[in-house]
Structure 1
Amino acid sequence: MAAQSDPTRISGRAQRDRVYRKVAARLVPLLFVCYAVSYLDRVNVGFARLQMDDELWFSDAVYGIGAGVFFVGYILFEVPSNVVLHKVGARRWIARIMLSWGVISAMMALASSPASFYTLRFLLGVAEAGFIPGILLYLTYWFPAARRGRITALFLAAIPVATIVGGPLSGWLMQAFDGVADLRGWQWMFVVEAVPAVLLGLVVLRRLDDRVADATWLTPAERDLVTADVAAEDDAKAGAHASVRDTLRSGSVWLLGGIYFAVALGIYTISFWLPTIISRSGVESPLAVGLLAAVPYLVAVVAMVAVATHGDRSGERRWHTAVPTVVGGIGLVAVGLTQSSTVWALLALTVAAAAVSSAQAAFWSLPAALLSGVGAAAGIALVNSIGNVAGAVSTSLVGIVADATGSTASSLYLFGAVLVAGGLLVLTVRPERVDEERTPAR
């Protein structure tokens, strides 16, 4: 019996690849769909505002503050949520997150004033806090670093896919259901798009395993292999940011947070303002806006998986993060210069979206390479929290500046410069701390 559970029985590269393909096939599709639904429920307010403005008289500033206050609740509860997940297990905690955010997302249909709009967005952030860093932490339990970049990219590809599918869906729901049962199309959109979150929460409760040891769908030898690979990696990082206190006081963690602030600034600026930029370039139909909004993210899916796959094969992490971050900044500046033309603005948005999506996927290999244990739970959550400050800043500032100047261009120029600075900051991380040598054993 001991020989059957000996991890050396699965030592060849092809056999290891088969085991990790099996793990990925079990976990990634479910987590991918969960994140896609989560992200759509977070940013569909960008489509809703195409009708909400006319009915509720929301200015750019009101919309921007409402979109941004989501991140206040999200940031406040991010670190404690991830620490709780590490202690109680991903299955119950991720299910709780999804069920609560689904209910609150549906309640967005009840928004009738700036105050109710702000309150519901804040509560949605509280409900969703910990989901993304929780999943990123969860993936470190199942995949060693040499395989994690591509897996992380596949998971984060849910962001562009959510827009590819959700943009046209949101536009269609708003157009087709407008006036049904005396509700506006934007209200129907919030209700209909919240249902999958609740259903998926129940699926997670049934299907997700907290630990490799719980995975009865793996053989004993396969479980031992994965456990040994991940444990060997944790042993190599032993003593580095081993406690929550050490992690929160680490200069490296705060540096990573600053870098992710820049990357997230690009992600959320595009996500929340893409429909508005396309609409103001001369496209009036909500469905047409949704279809055009899908174009940049079709390219982004291909780009982010290609960059992450190349990063895994080469073991190089810094340049794979820095270059897309800088290109994303240049893309945002180009959007500001071309937003009066639908064709040119869409081209610039495509470059920016593909670049910042690739930067985000490549970035998450950096904290995963530096942190382990409960320190990883707190560190990943802290980095994500700092990054999500960018969500509040970008959405609010763009709205306020647009009200004052009549254009989003000034904000796009500023955020483009921040992205370029963030890309340069990546290169201050010492390569020996994050880059890897490729070995056939992993």
Structure 2
Amino acid sequence: MDNLDTSISRANAGERDATFRKIIWRLIPFLTLVWFLAWIDRVNVGFAKLTMMDELQWSDAVYGAGAGIFFLGYFLFELPSNLVLQRIGAPKTIMRIALGWGVTCVLMAFVVSPWQFYLLRFLMGAFEAGLQPGVILYLTYWLPSHRRGKALAFFISASALSLMLGSPIAAFIMSHFNGAAGHSGWQWLFIIEGIPSIIAGIAAYFILSDKPENARWLTATQKQHVHEEMSAEDKTLSHREHNVWKSLSSPAMWALIGIFFCIVAGNATLVFYGPSLVKEAGITDISTLGWIMSGIYLCGWLGMVGNGWLSDKTQEVRWHTAVAALLGAAGLLICAFAIGHGSLAGVIFGLAVSAAGTMGAIPVFWKLPSYYMSGTAIVAGLAIINSVANLAGYFSPQLLGYFKQSTGQFTTGLTTIAAVEFCAVVLTILCIRKHDLAK
């Protein structure tokens, strides 16, 4: 915001910077760890699929339905979760969320029928619902928008980091624990990766504080610094909707839902079918595949952190979202062309490009809602945007599974998802007006 620093005293600028550094170092590492574990438990099914489907004799259609049904639970329980967070606070909410999905992940090791698979995936989505928008909401209590971009980028980048580190970890567990105590490698994957989430859930209650005014680890002066900057930001921003129902009728709300829906479609394709696409291109050794996927997701992490940093530095949001989504769509098209021609290098390159763009768009996108909503509206709005848009995660894995089963290849499905993600570019350029984002 161009006028933010002129609206509050510059005399204590260094002290205020130190206050916000203290807040970031207190909150962001732990929240990033929680999001890291959430993604580990959400997408480890993509690696488990490599042996689980054959052992249980399930089809790609069964897997696609199970991977996608996670997002139905997400959709149904996300808004209630955010409203509960506003009422009981972040520590209790995040504790409930992490304990629930951690236990569910462990139980995934013992599924023997598709309906059990579907039920537990649904429950995992229901438990995790509210975590991402809840943290985004939580950070609006602590950080003004001009300090929030980098913090959000590091927090949300944990999803790419979990994929980058989780891929070789999953491969190691599946390879080295296979047969231990009579359980298959994919079963140990769910058991071992579910337990840290349970521990993190317990820790959340003791580490987090609800709001700055309740934080015992901030001095009175530091609490005043937060109050000054948050108040100054409120004065510099144009009118933002406070009423939930009015915000729902706003074209901007539905544009935001549409944009994120298209981005999620591309992201779900990467995380749930990335390992299968590399395997289809010729890599069958699980350990090798794990390291390849780690490199691909490293590109996604770099995209998240880099694009978040550039957006903060230039104080620009619209084009940083649109160009990143364009890169994501282009990468999926490259992958579709390469897999149709049997090019392993092309598939890896396409997935890396798509990961950098698609994942790079996400943290910057999440700066947009606060330009249009505040108060109760943003509490509900963040949850509604995330829950409705994440239905793309329900449809895209099933779409790819359907095309793979009916045509025997991934090309048509990948091309379709690329077209969907390109719609995010068009919607961002046409529907997010520059004067709405005036600093």
- TM-score (normalised: structure 2): 0.95
User: 1:419 aligned to 2:417?
Assistant: no
Out of 389, 394, 401, which is 2:391 matched to? 389
Matched with 1:78 is 78
1:177-192 equivalences under 5 Å are: 177-192=177-192
SS of structure 1 residue aligned to 2:254? helix
1:11-50 equivalences under 5 Å are: 11-50=11-50
CA contact (8 A) 2:240 2:371 kept: no
SS of structure 2 residue aligned to 1:242? coil
Over 3 Å counting, the alpha-carbon distance change for 1:222 and 1:8 in structure 2 is farther
Matched with 2:125 is 125
Amino acid at match of 2:246: D
Amino acid at match of 2:434: P
Distance 2:65 2:235 in 1: 45
SS of structure 1 residue aligned to 2:265? helix
User: 1:433 aligned to 2:436?
Assistant: yes
Structure 1 residue 9 displacement after superposition: 7.8
Distance 1:231 1:98 in 2: 33
CA contact (8 A) 1:83 1:374 kept: no
Matched with 2:3 is none
Amino acid at match of 1:112: V
Amino acid at match of 1:416: A
Structure 1 residue 389 displacement after superposition: 0.8
Distance 1:9 1:207 in 2: 32
1:84-233 equivalences under 5 Å are: 84-233=84-233
Distance 2:162 2:349 in 1: 20
State the identity as a percent. 38
CA contact (8 A) 2:321 2:361 kept: yes
Q: For 1:168-187, what per-residue CA distance to the aligned partner results, in whole angstroms no more than 9, with x for missing partners? A: 11111011111111110000
SS of structure 1 residue aligned to 2:368? helix
Amino acid at match of 2:56: L
CA contact (8 A) 1:46 1:273 kept: yes
Matched with 1:342 is 344
**Bigger shift: 355-364 or 333-342?**
333-342
1:322-401 equivalences under 5 Å are: 322-339=322-339, 340-401=342-403
SS of structure 2 residue aligned to 1:365? coil
Q: For 1:358-386, what per-residue CA distance to the aligned partner results, in whole angstroms no more than 9, with x for missing partners? A: 11111111012222122111101111012
CA contact (8 A) 1:317 1:435 kept: no
Q: For 1:175-228, what per-residue CA distance to the aligned partner results, in whole angstroms no more than 9, with x for missing partners? A: 111111111000000000001100001111101000011112122111111122
SS of structure 1 residue aligned to 2:390? helix
Number of aligned residues: 430
Cα RMSD of the aligned pairs, angstroms, is 1.6
Distance 2:438 2:323 in 1: 16
**Bigger shift: 361-370 or 7-16?**
7-16
Structure 1 residue 134 displacement after superposition: 0.4
Distance 1:432 1:9 in 2: 27
Distance 2:8 2:411 in 1: 58
Distance 1:12 1:375 in 2: 33
Amino acid at match of 1:387: A
Distance 1:349 1:398 in 2: 15
CA contact (8 A) 1:237 1:370 kept: no
SS of structure 1 residue aligned to 2:217? coil
Unaligned runs of 5+ in 2: 1-6
SS of structure 1 residue aligned to 2:203? helix
Distance 1:191 1:141 in 2: 35
User: 1:258 aligned to 2:258?
Assistant: yes
SS of structure 2 residue aligned to 1:218? coil
Structure 1 residue 80 displacement after superposition: 1.3
Distance 1:239 1:316 in 2: 19
CA contact (8 A) 2:109 2:186 kept: yes
Structure 1 residue 158 displacement after superposition: 0.2
Amino acid at match of 1:174: M
Distance 2:303 2:45 in 1: 26
Distance 2:20 2:438 in 1: 21
Out of 393, 406, 409, which is 2:408 matched to? 406
Over 3 Å counting, the alpha-carbon distance change for 1:332 and 1:81 in structure 2 is same
Distance 2:305 2:280 in 1: 31
- TM-score (normalised: structure 1): 0.94
